[in-house]
Amino acid sequence: MTTITGVQVFDVRFPTSLSQDGSDAMNKDGDYSAAYVVLDTDDPTLAGYGFTFTIGRGNDLAAEAARQRAQSLIGRDVAELVGDLGAAYRGLASDSQLRWLGPEKGVVHLAMAAVMNALWDLAARRAGKPLWQMLVEMTPEQLVDAADLRYLSDVLTREQAIALLAEMEPTRLERIAELKARGGYPCYTTSAGWLGYSDEKLRRLLQEAVDEGYRHVKLKVGADVEDDVRRLRIAREVIGWDAKLMIDANQVWDVPEAIEWIDRLAEFEPYWIEEPTSPDDVLGHAAIRKAVAPIGVATGEHGMNRVLFKQMFQAGAIDFCQLDAARLASVNEILSVYLMAKMFDVPVCPHAGGVGLCELVQHLSIFDYVAVSGTLEGRVTEFVDHLHEHFTDPCVVKGGSYTLPSRPGYSAQMHEESVAAYSYPNGSMWSADPSS
């Protein structure tokens, strides 16, 4: 019997604020960070790696919450845990004292994501398969057993969830072959459009994106409307009018302001406006969507839990669902969002970037195509070319597509040297003063 022998938690921070990587109208100085969890076992060849993503201060809170969340796993039988990941999830979620601090949102929920991501990684490593493959080999009943359907039965019952998955089951292998043939799952790049970049850098990075084969690019907006007009004009000059141009306001507007501002930018024909207002504002997004059509409305990277997404779908509030693999409580909750998205016919285009989010979402998008949605129509997954060098199995993007991961796990393991160097505040990159 293999058991979990311990939990290691690391507060890993990268000083990205120095280069303005990741800068937008709301988040001007993020230090991309991971609350990183390692579940050790008494099998020296087997461990689980997971994390949640933050942007600096408070990453210690997420790490400590993850440590507390994971304590009850110590001493547990690995086979039993990974044999019923729904039960493992419900066990962790049943801590009513920690639940009070959310419920199911904020630091304690980010911590659930980190711990369950490590457990799903452990399960896939033990199975010797990349996570996406492990998922697409599970039966509809097994997948639904793992999903968190609590509070969703007014839109999605267990029976409906199984039926949705069963419908796509006979043709799963065809879609795996199709994805391999087309070079992977389509993605878009945000690397060009951070708000802190100069016009020259913007133009150069956009040209590079076009040259690399991207048909979608995204720019940050929302700090100054005249700047936005100028930057979007540059973007259209470089990418032309056939490529898709997305814009992202990172929650800076009230609802009426959003409608007015987007109207001003409509001449550049944005494909979507992302995070136009508070991520909690279901009815606000619905109002904005109605007002700015045919520009699509996208949100989800701060979508706190499945109950929020349920309402986004019910209210017809979004054209694109941008779930986050480290904010939702891992595959258990993400499965439910994918199933609801399928039911409401909303494409899921996961948020990525940050630290390691690209590594995670590639598995989710492939699973979605193969086992849930069965289509690439309107689907494109975010890709940001930052910090992949710190992962042992970094995502590989070629010609605007994520190639299919082949190594066991959820691609969530970081190099030990990276964890050591960037651990805050005592890693060598911090104690040596990264600004000097």
Residues that bind a second copy (CB under 8 A): 26-31, 54-58, 60-62, 64-65, 68, 95-110, 150-154, 251, 254-257, 277-284, 287, 302, 304-305, 307-308, 310-311, 314-315
Query: What is the DSSP track for 306-359?
Result: HHHHHHHHHTT--SEE---TTTS-HHHHHHHHHHHHHHHT--B-----TTTHHH
Whole-number Å distance between alpha carbons of 91 and 365: 27
Q: Which is nearer to a second copy, 39 or 65 (CB)?
A: 65
Q: Which is nearer to a second copy, 31 or 382 (CB)?
A: 31
Spatial contact of 132 and 363, defined as CB atoms under 8 Å apart: yes
Q: Is 290 a catalytic residue?
A: no
Q: Are β-strands 33-41 and 296-299 bridged in parallel, bridged antiparallel, or unpaired?
A: unpaired
Rounded to a whole number of angstroms, the minimum distance from the CB of residue 198 to a second copy is 22
Rounded to a whole number of angstroms, the minimum distance from the CB of residue 259 to a second copy is 9
Q: Which is nearer to a second copy, 227 or 254 (CB)?
A: 254
Residue 193 structure tokens: 């459009």
Q: Which of 169-177's residues contact partners 24+ apart within 8 Å by CB, and which partners?
A: 169/139, 169/140, 169/371, 171/374, 172/136, 172/370, 172/371, 175/369, 175/370, 175/374, 176/136, 176/370, 176/404
Active-site position among 218, 342, 351, 390? 351
Q: Which is nearer to a second copy, 39 or 312 (CB)?
A: 312
Spatial contact of 113 and 330, defined as CB atoms under 8 Å apart: yes
Q: Which is nearer to a second copy, 156 or 219 (CB)?
A: 156
The phi and psi torsions of 142 (rounded to 5 degrees) equal -65, -40
Bin 433: left if φ > 0, else alpha if -120 < ψ < 50, else beta. Answer: left
Active-site position among 129, 216, 220, 386? 220
Q: Looking at this protein, which amino acid is placed at residue 326?
A: A
Q: Which is nearer to a second copy, 256 or 399 (CB)?
A: 256
Please measure the distance between the N-terminal and C-terminal CA atoms of the chain and give it in whole angstroms: 50
Whole-number Å distance between alpha carbons of 70 and 62: 12
Spatial contact of 11 and 424, defined as CB atoms under 8 Å apart: yes
Q: Is 386 a catalytic residue?
A: no
Instruction: List the catalytic residues.
Output: 220, 351
